[in-house]
């Protein structure tokens, strides 16, 4: 059983016995995980289709949007299309235009990429300087890089094993599904999460390498709908007749139609830590993950109830139900986590393209919600150096950007938010 299947089980638990069963499953897990590594059966069968993470942020000169997608496999597949979707609008949650950036890679690792209809590139993009588009509107790198994600796997396992014991001791769960841990228990859980085998936290993913697709693209190519950009990534099966061409075309060819979508991701941990179906068979959990990967934009809302149920669990880990970001402790229990679940079901990374400063994960969403700690005027997005997972976990647990984490706050490699191709060399 993969850790991501465990997350599915955890997210769907409606009762204490079910939650205990889900947590017990964690003790059998082996291996490593990142925020979206290992996925549905379709993606697990083909690691070249498995997106680990995506990153999106503005350049310091305010001219480009920087994008990075890492793939679990060490090579891209010529049977697949790798796509960044960049939607644009004037308000959070509302976009009116979209620019697809579509790439495919041939067996010799030569890439072919389209920046919407604005530019095109074809050739060897494995050099660190990348390959510039014919109209000089974007630059592309495709090759092996260090994976920026980091995680204290053993500390996470220890925390959940301890939570199993507390739940077995008949700890209460409130009407919204939030476990009511006392202060001592919450402190003990946090201690376990921040350590590895009783010592300092260590990164189980140190040195992890992955294929990376990195793009720097002119912002004016992307802002047809407005200055707020919403980024998500997908992998599609390439129609046979659209396999990468072996020779460069003289003119810019038409952007290809997309094949069947089999994978998608944006914010870290959404699919693997928050989405899940009822606690039934592994086959049912696989079905939900397959549905999440394949559904089009108009169908994303269907996962709101799944996310809502899992948010209740995270809210209780600090011993204070109702402290989660956007949680409404005084409304009827069924509505407490609805607002945040709806926001997260629209799984896109939001970037304020008017800003040249990118320091805070979820800055756009936090500012729109009126959070007192929002970094106003920040681009938000996600750079490779953000401690995004811990920031996100804290928001889900205590409603702040820090305070509940796994003890790790940076990768073992230093990544550059300004120097292309941004991700550290492997």
pLDDT at 166: 83
Dihedral of alpha carbons 276, 365, 355, 218, sign? positive
Quote the pLDDT of residue 99: 98
Give residue 58's pLDDT band: very low, low, confident or very high (50, 70, 90).
Answer: very high
Percent over 70 (pLDDT), the chain: 85
The pLDDT value recorded for residue 243 is 59
Interval 194-237: pLDDT, tens: 999 999 999 988 888 999 999 999 999 999 999 999 999 999 99
Q: Identify the residue whose tokens are 């507390």.
A: 166
Cα separation of 180 and 164, whole Å? 13
- Please return the burial class of 366, using the count of CB atoms within 10 Å of its CB with bins 0-12, 13-18 and 19+: buried
Higher pLDDT, 170 or 24: 170
Please report the pLDDT score of residue 420 as a whole number.
Answer: 98
Helical axes 338-345 vs 304-315, angle rounded to 10°: 120
CA–CA distance, 28 with 41 (Å, rounded to integer): 19
Q: How many residues does the chain have?
A: 426
Name the least confident of 235-239, 262-266, 329-333, 358-362. Answer: 329-333
- pLDDT tens figures, 356-390: 999 999 999 999 999 999 998 999 999 999 999 99
Query: Using 50, 70 and 90 to split pLDDT, how confident is the model at 245?
Result: low
Which of 40-49, 323-332, 366-375 is predicted with the least confidence, judged by mean pLDDT? Answer: 40-49
- Average pLDDT of span 262-272: 92
- As given in the structure block, the two tokens for residue 240 are 């046979």
- Tell me the per-residue pLDDT of 178-193, one tens digit each, with 9 for 90 and over: 988 999 999 999 999 9
What's the pLDDT at 215? 98
Average pLDDT, stretch 261-279? 81
DSSP state letter for 300: G
Ranges 97-101, 130-134, 148-152: which has the least confidence: 148-152
pLDDT at 8 over 60: no
Sheet arrangement for strand 64-71: 51-58, 64-71, 209-218, 138-146, 131-132
Confidence of residue 29 (pLDDT cuts 50, 70, 90): very low
* Opening angle at CA 404, ends 398 and 408, nearest 5: 155
Domain map (residue ranges) of the chain: 3-31+152-202+268-347
User: Among 163-167, 273-277, 293-297, whose mean pLDDT is lowest?
Assistant: 273-277
> How far is the C-alpha of 399 from the C-alpha of 352, rounded, in Å?
22
Tell me the percentage of the chain whose pLDDT exceeds 90: 70
Cβ(274)–Cβ(307) below 8 Å: yes
Contact 52, 36 (CB under 8 A): yes
pLDDT of residue 11: 33
Q: Would you give the distance in Å from CA 177 to the centre of its chain?
A: 25
Q: What is the pLDDT of residue 44?
A: 74
pLDDT at 18 over 50: no
Confidence of residue 285 (pLDDT cuts 50, 70, 90): low
> Among the listed ranges 9-23, 67-81, 377-391, which one has the minimum average pLDDT value?
9-23
Helices (H) and strands (E) in the chain, counts: 10, 14
Collapsed DSSP state (helix, strand, coil) of residue 275: coil
Omega within 30 of 0 (cis) for the link into 421: yes
Banded model confidence at residue 281, pLDDT cuts 50, 70, 90: low
Look at residue 277 and tell me whether its pLDDT is greater than 70: no
What is the rounded distance in angstroms from the CA atom of residue 87 to the CA atom of residue 95?
A: 6
- Could you read off the pLDDT of 333-358 as tens digits, one per residue? 999 999 999 999 999 999 999 999 99
The CA distances from residue 390 to 6, 70, 90, 172, in Å, are 19, 20, 29, 26
Which whole-number Å values give the CA distances from 98 to 63, 82, 401, in the listed order? 18, 16, 30
SS3 assignment, position 8: helix
SS (H, E, C) 313-380: HHHHHHCCCCCCCCCCCCCCHHHCCHHHHHHHHCCCEEEECCCCCCCCCCHHHHHHHCCCCCCCCCCE
User: What is the Cα–Cα distance from 404 to 29, expressed in whole angstroms?
Assistant: 23
Q: Is 190 exposed, middle or buried (0-12, 13-18, 19+ CB in 10 A)?
A: buried
- Inform me whether the pLDDT recorded for 284 exceeds 80: no
Let me know: does 336 contact 176? Beta carbons within 8 Å. yes
Looking at residue 283, what is its pLDDT? Answer: 74
Distance of CA 226 to the CA centre of its chain: 23
Q: Round the average pLDDT of the chain to a whole number and report it.
A: 86
Please determine, for residue 278, whether its predicted confidence score (pLDDT) is greater than 80.
no
Q: Which residue, 324, 349, 318, 319, is CA-closest to 337?
A: 324
């Amino acid at each position: 059983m993969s850790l991501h299947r465990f997350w599915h089980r955890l997210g769907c638990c409606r009762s204490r016995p079910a939650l205990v069963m889900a947590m017990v499953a964690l003790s059998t897990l082996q291996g490593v995980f990142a925020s979206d590594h290992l996925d549905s059966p379709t993606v697990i069968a083909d690691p070249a289709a498995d997106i680990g993470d995506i990153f999106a942020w503005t350049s310091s000169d305010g001219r480009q949007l920087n994008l990075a997608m890492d793939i679990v496999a060490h090579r891209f597949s010529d049977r697949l299309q790798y796509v960044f979707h960049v939607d644009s609008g004037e308000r959070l949650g509302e976009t009116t235009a979209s620019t697809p950036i579509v790439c495919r890679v041939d067996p010799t690792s030569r890439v072919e990429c389209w920046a919407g209809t604005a530019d095109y590139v074809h050739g060897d993009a494995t050099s660190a300087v990348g390959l510039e588009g014919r109209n000089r509107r974007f630059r592309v790198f495709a090759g092996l890089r260090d994976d920026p994600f980091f995680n204290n796997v053993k500390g996470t396992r220890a925390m959940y094993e301890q939570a199993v014991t507390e739940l077995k001791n008949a700890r209460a769960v409130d009407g919204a599904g939030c476990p009511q841990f006392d202060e001592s228990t919450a402190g003990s859980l946090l201690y376990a999460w921040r350590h590895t085998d009783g010592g300092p936290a260590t990164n189980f993913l140190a040195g992890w390498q992955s294929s990376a697709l990195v793009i720097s693209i002119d912002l004016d190519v992307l802002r047809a709908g407005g200055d707020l950009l919403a980024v998500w990534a997908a992998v599609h099966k390439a129609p046979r007749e659209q396999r990468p061409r072996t020779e460069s075309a003289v003119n810019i060819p038409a952007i290809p139609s997309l094949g069947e979508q089999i994978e998608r991701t944006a914010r870290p941990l959404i699919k693997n830590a928050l989405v899940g179906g009822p606690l039934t068979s592994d086959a049912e959990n696989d079905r939900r993950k397959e549905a999440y990967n394949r559904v089009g934009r108009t169908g994303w809302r269907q996962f709101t109830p799944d996310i809502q149920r899992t948010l209740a669990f995270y809210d209780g880990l600090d011993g204070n139900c109702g402290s989660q970001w956007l949680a409404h402790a005084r409304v009827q229990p069924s509505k407490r986590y609805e607002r945040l679940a709806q926001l997260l079901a629209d799984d896109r990374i939001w970037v304020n393209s008017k800003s040249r400063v990118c320091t805070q994960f979820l800055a756009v969403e936090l500012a729109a919600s009126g959070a007192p700690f929002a970094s106003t005027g920040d681009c938000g997005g996600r750079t490779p150096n953000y401690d995004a997972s811990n920031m996100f976990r804290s928001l889900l647990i205590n409603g702040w950007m820090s305070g509940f984490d796994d003890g790790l706050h940076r990768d073992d490699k230093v990544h550059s938010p300004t120097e292309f191709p941004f991700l550290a060399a492997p």
